Amino acid sequence: MSDDSPTGTTPLHLQGRAAVIAASADTRWRHGAPPDYHLSHEVMPGERTTRHEPGSLADIVENLVQVFEMELSHKADPAQWISMVTDRIKVSLNGGPPADSAELAERGSYNILIGENPYYRASEETFESSHEIFHQAFPGGFFWEVLEVYSPPPVITFKWRHWGTFSGPYKGTEPTGERIELFGITVARCAPDLRLLETEHFYDNSLFLGQLCGAQHPPAAQ
């Protein structure tokens, strides 16, 4: 592994969001300042369903993916993304066409990782509008955790959970105050230092968004 850490042990991109943000003095942030993750620190520990041993593969994967998401959402310049090999990264949803770093930076992770379905038209949303939609729907935070890791590097396969309280409007639908959960599988191909090369995400995006629109669906498989 490459070594970006002050201690000479753990690469910076595996140290978690707080460490990466603290080391990003020259970063060009999309909104002029680093993101604020106080809700994750305050709410997530009491609502998560798993606890990983520090330094375990599940803990490492969770930290890496959280940094990956933070960089996609908040760092404006792909050249400053450290969680992935920027000129090689490919991200796809449910077997669809992959997006590269330029498309991720332009369209945003919500549009790439939700795509087109009856309840959301990614082609009609910008990076900014997509984030605003989901920040409005989940003003108390929309959290993410690794549940299980099925295979080790260089091809890491893992199951995850995303959740939040639907307490704000979603595209004209009034909130219900219910907890919304979705579950999925990701296959991540990594470089020797665990920077991401490719991520393939699999989940039922219509099931998730249908809950925000009041559609009736069977419960998600877990």
Length of the chain: 222
| Token couple for 200 | 């393939």
Position 218 confidence tier, pLDDT thresholds 50, 70, 90? very low
Query: What pLDDT, in 10s, does the model give residues 104-158?
Result: 999 999 999 999 989 999 999 999 999 999 999 999 999 999 999 999 999 999 9
pLDDT over 70 (residue 2): no
How large is the average pLDDT for residues 168-192? 96
Q: 189, 155 in Cβ contact below 8 A?
A: yes
Indicate the DSSP class of residue 32: S
The pTM (predicted TM-score) of the whole model is 0.90
Q: What's the pLDDT score for residue 214?
A: 85
Helix (H) or strand (E) holding 65, with range, is helix 57-74
Residue 221 CA neighbour count, 13 Å, CB half:
6
Q: What's the pLDDT score for residue 215?
A: 76
Best CA proximity match to 19, nearest among 73, 64, 52: 64
Q: 61, 149 in Cβ contact below 8 A?
A: yes
pLDDT over 50 (residue 220): no
Q: 181, 166 in Cβ contact below 8 A?
A: no
Best CA proximity match to 64, nearest among 7, 139, 1: 1
